[in-house]
């Protein structure tokens, strides 16, 4: 079954790379530019996996993860954090807030796809 992935990232470059990578891997992609828009997208869709950036305007990745985990409809969706911040604090905080896993930017396309398969049902 085709997997539906929501990516949340404020960088157009990264969004395009994510889209290219995931489409190449035969997945369907929804995209949002920040946490607020991410939640709006979730109002109309239940993706299989969410990939989100941390540092974003309006609502950052932390706020977004927290909101998703607070939503009864969406809290079972695996969330991968896409971040340049690979060590210490941020990863811990993302995990405490309910991130399922993480991918270090810049990401390797094959590894991103693997990680998605790994956390997706």
60: helix, strand or coil: coil
Which CB sits closer to another protein, 2 or 36? 36
Rounded distance, CA 15 to CA 38, Å? 13
In which order are the strands placed within the sheet that holds 101-104? Answer: 28-32, 4-8, 49-53, 79-83, 101-104
Of positions 5, 52, 107, 116, contacts another protein by CB under 8 A: 107
Q: How many residues bind another protein (CB under 8 A)?
A: 55
Where does this chain bind another protein (CB under 8 A)?
Answer: 10-14, 16-17, 20, 36-37, 39-40, 42-43, 55-58, 67, 69-73, 75-79, 84-90, 95, 98-108, 111, 114-115, 118-121
């Amino acid at each position: 079954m085709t997997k539906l992935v929501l990516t949340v990232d404020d960088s157009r470059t990264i969004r395009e790379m994510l889209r290219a990578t995931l489409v190449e891997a035969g997945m369907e992609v929804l995209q949002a530019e920040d946490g607020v828009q991410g939640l709006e997208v979730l109002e109309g869709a239940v993706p299989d996996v969410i990939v989100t950036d941390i540092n974003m305007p309006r609502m950052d990745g932390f706020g977004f993860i927290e909101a998703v985990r607070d939503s009864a409809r969406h809290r079972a969706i695996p969330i991968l954090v896409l971040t340049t911040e690979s060590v210490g604090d941020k990863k811990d905080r993302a995990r405490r807030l309910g991130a399922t896993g993480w991918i270090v930017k810049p990401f390797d396309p094959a590894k991103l796809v693997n990680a998605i398969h790994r956390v997706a049902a």
